[in-house]
Amino acid sequence: MRPRLTWVHGHAVLVFAFLYLPILVLIVYSFNGESVAGFPPHGWTLRWYSELFADDALWSSVANSLLVAAVAVALALLFGIPAALALDRANFPGKRVFRRLVLLPLILPGIITGLSLLTLFAAAGAQLSLITVAIGHGTALISVAVTEVSAGLQKFDRALEEASRDLGAREWYTFRRITLPSLKLPIIAAALLIFTLSLDEIAVSFFLVGRENTLPLEIWSRLRRGMTPEINAVSTLIFAFSVITIVIWYKLRGSTTGAESR
């Protein structure tokens, strides 16, 4: 039976076009010969990319973003992995509230997370800086670590731990040799996801940033001043980076598409 083309196919084509239109525009305009974003673009140039590479302020914000992202990953994993384990295997009062709290930043608009932390830092007299931004990211992204690791724990066969104990191993040893290795993939996937989300994060960062900007905030402040084609260039680079990261993430996470059940 040959597959029939139906309106579902047409609809899918339109949606994909809608999803990719801005990205295509971005890439095309990053090579635009004119500096004004008229349509259609004229000329072809690498000028914006070369200006980009000479732009020190931008690169220092990139460095800041990378630093913040690294710290965010560390924080999120450091507290997120135990949190996932606690939700899976520990019993304590307030467990349900805890679960709700930890996962809330996933769906809560970033502004609320950012503002609430701002009031905390203000009350504590702490100065806003990249550190406060990193704390904000890390706290919010614990939710991602918990989600990924919890999914890994669901798939994990408890009988393996029981076998380990049966053979005489103690708890910490079992955790180190059996449980943790089985969580290797979810943890790496979580780390990649958290890293990428942190790099792009703007809502929380908006309120917690000090003198040093992260990349999104640097782009933001330039956008407020007016369009510069350089932005297209840096955006295209970010896009390329994201694509590479997501391909790696996808390969690591295995079949996320539920293809097993097909």
Partner 1 sequence: MYSRAYQRLVSIPPLLWVSVFLLIPYASLFCISFWQVRSQQIVHEWTLHNYAQLIHNPVYLEVLGRSARIAASVTILALLLGVPLAYFVCMRAGRFQNLLYQLVIIPLWVSYLVRAYAWKTILGGNGVLNTLLIHVGILHQPASFFLYSPFAVILTLTHIYTPFVFLPTYASMAHIPKALVEASSDLGASPVRSFWTLIFPLSLPGIVAGATFAFVLSLGDFIAPLLIGGPNGIMISNIVVSLFGAAYDWPLGSAISLCILILVVVLISTTESIEKRLQLGGAR
Shortest reach from residue 188's CB to partner 1, in Å: 16
Shortest reach from residue 220's CB to partner 1, in Å: 6
CA–CA gap between residue 25 and residue 40 (Å, rounded):
10
**Smaller CB separation from partner 1, 26 or 70:** 26
- Looking at the DSSP bridge assignments, the partners of residue 150 are none
Shortest reach from residue 46's CB to partner 1, in Å: 19
Backbone angles phi, psi at 119, to 5 degrees: -65, -35
Shortest reach from residue 63's CB to partner 1, in Å: 17
For tokens 């460095």, what's the residue? 63
**Smaller CB separation from partner 1, 167 or 261:** 261
Q: Which of 94, 75, 46, 80 is nearest to 134 (CA)?
A: 75
**Smaller CB separation from partner 1, 36 or 54:** 36
- Looking at the DSSP bridge assignments, the partners of residue 217 are none
Shortest reach from residue 56's CB to partner 1, in Å: 21
**Smaller CB separation from partner 1, 54 or 224:** 224
**Smaller CB separation from partner 1, 67 or 203:** 203
Q: Are 147 and 194 in contact (CB under 8 A)?
A: no
Find the farthest-apart pair of alpha carbons in the chain and give their distance in angstroms, rounded. 73
Structure tokens at 139: 């706290």
CA–CA gap between residue 32 and residue 55 (Å, rounded):
19
